Amino acid sequence: MSHAAWEVLRNTLLWAGLATALVMVPGTLVAYVLARRDFRGKRVVSTLFSLPLVLPPTAVGYLLLRTFAVDGPLGRDTLGIDLDVILSWKAVVIACAVMATPLVVRTARVSFEAVDPRYEDMARTLGHGRAATFLRYTLPMARRGLMAALILGFTRAVGEFGATIILAGNIPGRTQTLATAIFSAQQAGRESEANVLLVIALVAGFAAVYASEALSQKHAAAAARR
């Protein structure tokens, strides 16, 4: 495998990993609140967090571009400092994170909803406060679903194209990912390079989905035993 292909794979995994890490903690908390609490506007919040799933990725990318533009809400003129996001590796991470958010939140929410809240009541009567109950009982009981959320979020981030190419561009060695590299190679007629990248994508994708399937099946079996 060529040095360039290695670099693309390494960058893709690194940025997708960072994006997943960025999403997981807040995404899990939002999912827990959506699973457990009733509040005004809950449906609106839930819809907003699902929006990137149904919008064209390029629309999300353009929205992010407007947000981080010099005169945007998170741009230099507003913040007073330049985050230097657009056309950088940070843009890849942010685009991937936003696009992965719906899958993480929805999957984590379902996994929390599968935990009977009476277990949390039980933990409270045993002397654990809310935070300890969440960390020591809710999280471990929802762990398989949360693992699935993590894997799905990560794979979504790895495969992200539309939002990334608008916010981060497709600069070899700087912002190019597996998805955008295949696009470039195919467009330029570099077939052997595209083929190598395709095989890499196939192997990585298969492994991720296979792992997630195995986890969710174990989860279902564990739920059936209870």
Partner 1 sequence: MNPPLHVQVRLPLDRFDLDVEFETTHRVTGVFGVSGSGKTTLLEAVAGLRRGARGRIRLGAAEWLDSERRLRVPPERRHVGYVPQDSLLFPHLDVLGNLNAGRGRALRGENQVEGTLETVVRVLDLAPLLRRPVTTLSGGERQRVALGRALCSGPRLLLLDEPLASLDAGLRRKVLPFLHRVQAEFSLPILLVSHNPVEVQALCEDLIVLREGRIIARGEPRAVLTRPEVFPLAEHEGFENMLPARVIESGPETSRVTLGHGAEGPALTVPRSTLPAGSPLLLSIPADEIVLGLEHPPGLSARNAVPARVEQVQRVGAVCLVTARVAPDTPPVVAEVTADATSELHLVPGTELFLLIKTTAVTLYEDPSGA
Q: Which two tokens stand for residue 186?
A: 């195919």
Q: Which two tokens stand for residue 122?
A: 């039980």
For residues 130 and 137, what is the distance between their CA atoms, to the nearest angstrom? 10
> Closest approach of Cβ 118 to partner 1, in Å?
6
> Closest approach of Cβ 212 to partner 1, in Å?
20
3-state class (DSSP) for residue 121 = helix
Residues 73-132 that bind partner 1 (CB under 8 A): 116, 118-119, 121-129
Query: What does R_g of the chain's alpha carbons equal in angstroms?
Result: 20
Binding mask 134-153 for partner 1 (x = CB under 8 A): ---x--xx-x----------
In eight-state DSSP terms, residue 91 is: H
Nearer of residues 68 and 137 to partner 1, judged by Cβ: 137
Q: How many residues of this chain interact with partner 1, rule: CB under 8 A? A: 19
Asked whether 164 and 129 are in contact (CB, 8 A), the reply is: no
Nearer of residues 73 and 117 to partner 1, judged by Cβ: 117
> Closest approach of Cβ 141 to partner 1, in Å?
5
Q: Which two tokens stand for residue 88?
A: 């950088």
> Closest approach of Cβ 225 to partner 1, in Å?
5
In eight-state DSSP terms, residue 37 is: -
Nearer of residues 44 and 224 to partner 1, judged by Cβ: 224
Nearer of residues 14 and 222 to partner 1, judged by Cβ: 222
In eight-state DSSP terms, residue 72 is: S
With a CB cutoff of 8 Å and minimum separation 6, the contacts of 215 are: 144, 147, 148, 151
Q: 168: closest CA among 51, 27, 18?
A: 18
Stretch that binds partner 1, among 25-33, 65-73, 201-209, 218-226 (CB under 8 A): 218-226
> Closest approach of Cβ 123 to partner 1, in Å?
7
Give me the residues that bind partner 1 (CB under 8 A), please.
Answer: 116, 118-119, 121-129, 137, 140-141, 143, 222, 225-226
